[in-house]
Amino acid sequence: MFYGIDLQSRLMLGTAQYPSPAVLREAIAASGTQVITVSLRREGPDGAAFRQILSQSGCRILPNTAGCHTAREAITTARMARELFGTRWIKLEVIGHADTLQPDPFALVEAARVLCAEGFKVFPYTTEDLVLGEKLVEAGCRVLMPWGAPIGSGQGLRNIEGLRAMRAHFPNVPLVIDAGIGAPSDAARAMELGFDAVLLNTAVAQADDPVAMAAAFARAVEAGRMAQAAGLMPRRDMAAPSTPVFGTAELA
């Protein structure tokens, strides 16, 4: 449950960097997503077409505060987004470093505290740091979105053990892997680890065929979720025969 909303699809999709509005629209459909992320910007060339896609997608809108580097910028952006999109959901990004796009944890908590108090449903883009996660929950966040790897890098899950620890540390907080997913196998892995959803953009938008890749991610997320529910076998250090040894013929 994400702020009381149960989602059938656990794939959240970004809407940037697609080759055309038509491809974006088809990719949204192929992904089966119910949540798409958007931003607020000064008017661009295809603004009208984009607004039409949003209204026709049937998806829940998750506006972001991408590009904000201070708590104040992020808070102002969130307030503007709430009015424009008519939603209290906000993907809270406060960027601390221009190269890594790593979140600024201090400004993130500050902004989260203000926005949660104003009734926003905050989805904070964070790291796998457990103390930071706790501070965000204390601030009122009921979802956490740790990165898999730096935004747009496609490196996948860079710190699997850290993410595993985060999953164990927050058993009752919905956790979404946001950023860094490069391949459907990364998304499947995130779901197998017990994460509740994945949010990605570049891996689909920049594929040679974004629509086919959106479908591939949909299946990977579904497979990973099914696998987690089914219970993965424990890893072993050594081989163990799967065929019974009993009854083996003596042919030597």
Partner 1 sequence: MRIELNGRPTETEAATLLALLAERGHDPVTVATALNGDFVPREARDTTPLHPGDRVEVLRPMQGG
Catalytic (active-site) positions: 91
Helix (H, G, I), strand (E, B) or coil at 159: coil
Of 70 and 228, nearer to partner 1 (C-beta) is 70
Task: Name the minimum Å distance from CB 89 to partner 1.
Answer: 13
- The angle that helices 105-117 and 130-139 make with each other, rounded to 10 degrees, is 20
Of 4 and 44, nearer to partner 1 (C-beta) is 44
Question: How are beta strands 176-178 and 89-92 bridged, if at all?
Answer: unpaired
- Is 152 annotated as belonging to a binding site? yes
- Is 172 annotated as belonging to a binding site? no
- Asked if residue 149 lies in contact with residue 156, where contact means CB atoms within 8 angstroms, the answer is yes
Task: Name the minimum Å distance from CB 197 to partner 1.
Answer: 15
- Asked if residue 40 lies in contact with residue 77, where contact means CB atoms within 8 angstroms, the answer is yes
Q: List CB contacts of 11: < 8 A, sequence separation 6 or more.
A: 31, 32, 33, 187, 197, 198, 200, 217, 218, 221
Which residues in the 86-115 window bind partner 1 by CB under 8 A? none
The pair of three-digit structure tokens given for residue 44, joined into one six-digit string: 């661009």
Contacts 24+ apart (CB under 8 A), 153-161: 153/180, 153/182, 154/180, 154/181, 154/182, 154/183, 154/202, 154/203, 155/180, 155/182, 156/180, 156/181, 156/182, 156/183, 156/185, 156/186, 156/189, 157/186, 157/189, 157/190, 157/193, 159/128, 160/189, 160/193
Q: Which of 85, 102, 129, 174 binds partner 1 (CB under 8 A)?
A: 85
Q: Which of 201, 207, 210, 217 binds partner 1 (CB under 8 A)?
A: 201
- Is 239 annotated as belonging to a binding site? no
Task: Name the minimum Å distance from CB 40 to partner 1.
Answer: 4
Task: Name the minimum Å distance from CB 239 to partner 1.
Answer: 43
- Is 81 annotated as belonging to a binding site? no
Which residues in the 145-174 window bind partner 1 by CB under 8 A? 151-152
**Separation CA 155–CA 248 (nearest Å):** 46
- Is 179 annotated as belonging to a binding site? yes
Of 17 and 100, nearer to partner 1 (C-beta) is 17
Which residues in the 15-74 window bind partner 1 by CB under 8 A? 15-18, 24, 37-44, 47, 50-51, 54, 63-64, 66, 72-73
Q: Which residues bind partner 1 (CB under 8 A)?
A: 14-18, 24, 37-44, 47, 50-51, 54, 63-64, 66, 72-73, 76, 79-81, 83-85, 151-152, 201-202
- Residues flagged as binding site: 152, 179-180, 201-202
- Residues flagged as binding site for 1-deoxy-D-xylulose 5-phosphate: 152, 179-180, 201-202
